[in-house]
């Protein structure tokens, strides 16, 4: 989590985020209308950036209404400049709305104590370049007042999880873009948060890293965590998100379940194997007899991601092996 979203570390009442189960409940109990199934709520949320003289500059977000439920992976989509990062910053209380409200766990986004339950991976790296991975996680663990033993255990566990054990004693200034992204995720999870906000989590990652990041997101969901991620990499969103919102120039254009939005209702897809090609004509006839139209009858293709991953995995298992196509050209 970035230093801007840390809890007030000076607060004597704040114990370790994972050690004191009662704190989050206390936070919830203070709001009688709080529905624990609604983790994030935007009500008519609007942000207008103004220039130094207070003149209106950019209307980055217009009257956004949104609810994110406990345990779901929610994707915020939109082209560059559509207001995704602005929305995340408003929800975190890093920006003040021009109008409307942002609520997290039923509390106003500006409430500092909610941060104990939130992990945040920002769009840009903000980590200290001269710290190692271990020192970085230890630093953020201290901000959450975690005891030394727990910090050490949690850091080792997270470094392993994000695949950086081999580089844990190297300073972050020597890290590649993808490695920085990985340690950023580890940092966002240091306080074992209930809600994780990921701004472009797969940016800078190679396809293997992207797959691992998506698997980690699904693993967090399986643990009951709520995740809000924003991205313009549509395949990533499609693979992991339960629901999505599409923003365009700060306006909500679409909201719904990924499955429902992508379903092509009037078409049916059939896949089979073990039938000779000679039978295809018969299959076409049956479809036409029932008034249907054959749109495609062909071998399915794998996608490039699966192909790439199978090649990388094969290369790891059989060093020196090359595909037939690569042998011909080499
Ligand atoms: N600090 C700022 N001051 C003025 N305008 C800003 C500021 N931050 C963002 N904007 C503007 O607000 C709009 C939304 O920006 P935002 O960063 O939220 O978009 P985004 O959807 O995250 O884009 P990207 O995909 O490029 O990350 C853009 O027009 C941007 O120029
Ligand atoms: Mg952004």
Most ligand 1 atoms within 8 A of CB, residue of 54, 61, 82 to mutate: 82
Tell me, what's the pLDDT at 21?
39
Question: By the 8 A CB rule, do 232 and 202 touch?
Answer: no
DSSP codes, 145-208: T--HHHHHHHHHHHHHHTT-GGGTTSBGGG--HHHHHHHHHHHHTTT--SEEEEESTTTT--HH
Over range 236-248, report the average pLDDT: 90
CATH number (3.40.50.300, 2.60.120.560, 3.30.420.40, 1.10.10.60) of 3-262 reads 3.40.50.300
Given this model, what pLDDT does residue 69 score? 96
Q: 10 Å Cβ neighbour count for 280?
A: 13
- Rounded distance from Cα 323 to ligand 1 centre (Å): 44
Comparing 13-27, 123-137, 219-233, 295-309, which segment has the lowest mean pLDDT? 13-27
pLDDT attached to residue 304: 67
- By alpha-carbon position, which residue is closest to atom 7 of ligand 1? 49
Q: Write the pLDDT tens digit of every residue in 140-188.
A: 999 999 999 999 999 999 999 999 999 999 999 999 888 999 999 999 9
Please tell me the distance between residue 85's alpha carbon and the centre of ligand 2 in angstroms.
4
Kindly list the domain boundaries of the chain, sorted by start residue.
Answer: 3-262, 267-330
Yes or no: say if 85 and 232 are a contact pair by the CB < 8 Å rule: no
Nearest Cα to 297, choosing from 268, 320, 318? Answer: 268
pLDDT at 6: 39
Q: Is 70 exceeded by the pLDDT of residue 300?
A: yes
The proportion of the chain whose per-residue pLDDT surpasses 90, expressed as a percent, equals: 49
pLDDT at 28 over 70: no
Burial of 50 (0-12, 13-18, 19+ CB in 10 A): exposed
Instruction: Write out residues with Cβ below 6 Å of ligand 1.
Output: 49, 57-58, 60, 78, 80-86, 123, 232
Q: Residue 32: which pLDDT band, with cuts at 50, 70 and 90?
A: low
């Amino acid at each position: 989590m970035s230093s801007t979203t840390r809890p007030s570390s000076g607060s004597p009442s704040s114990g370790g985020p994972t050690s004191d189960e009662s704190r989050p409940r206390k936070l919830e109990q203070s709001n009688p209308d709080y529905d624990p199934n609604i983790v994030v709520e935007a009500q008519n949320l609007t942000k207008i950036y103004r220039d130094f003289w207070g003149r209106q500059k950019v209307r980055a977000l217009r009257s956004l209404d949104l609810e994110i439920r406990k345990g779901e992976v929610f994707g915020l989509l939109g082209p560059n400049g559509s207001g995704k990062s602005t929305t995340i910053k408003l929800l975190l209380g890093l920006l003040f709305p021009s109008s409307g409200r942002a609520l997290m766990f039923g509390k106003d986004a500006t409430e500092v104590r909610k941060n104990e339950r939130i992990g945040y991976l920002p769009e840009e790296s903000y980590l200290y370049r001269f710290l190692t991975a271990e020192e970085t996680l230890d630093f953020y663990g201290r901000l959450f007042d975690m005891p030394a033993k727990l910090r050490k255990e949690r850091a080792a566990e997270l470094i392993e999880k994000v695949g950086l054990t081999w580089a844990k004693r190297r300073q972050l200034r020597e890290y590649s873009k993808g490695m920085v992204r990985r340690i950023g995720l580890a940092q966002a999870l240091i306080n074992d948060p209930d809600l994780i906000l990921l701004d472009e989590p797969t940016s800078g990652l190679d396809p293997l890293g992207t797959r691992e990041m998506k698997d980690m997101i699904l693993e967090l969901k399986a643990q009951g965590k709520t995740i809000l991620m924003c991205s313009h990499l549509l395949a990533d969103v499609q693979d992991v998100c339960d629901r999505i919102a599409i923003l365009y120039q700060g306006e909500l254009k679409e909201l719904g379940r990924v499955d429902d939005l992508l379903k092509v209702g009037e078409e049916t897809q059939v896949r089979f194997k073990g039938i000779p090609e000679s039978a295809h004509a018969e299959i076409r006839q049956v479809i036409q007899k029932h008034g249907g139209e054959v749109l495609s009858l062909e071998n399915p293709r794998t996608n490039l991601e699966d192909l790439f991953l199978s090649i990388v995995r094969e290369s790891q298992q059989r060093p020196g092996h090359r595909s037939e196509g690569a042998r011909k050209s080499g």
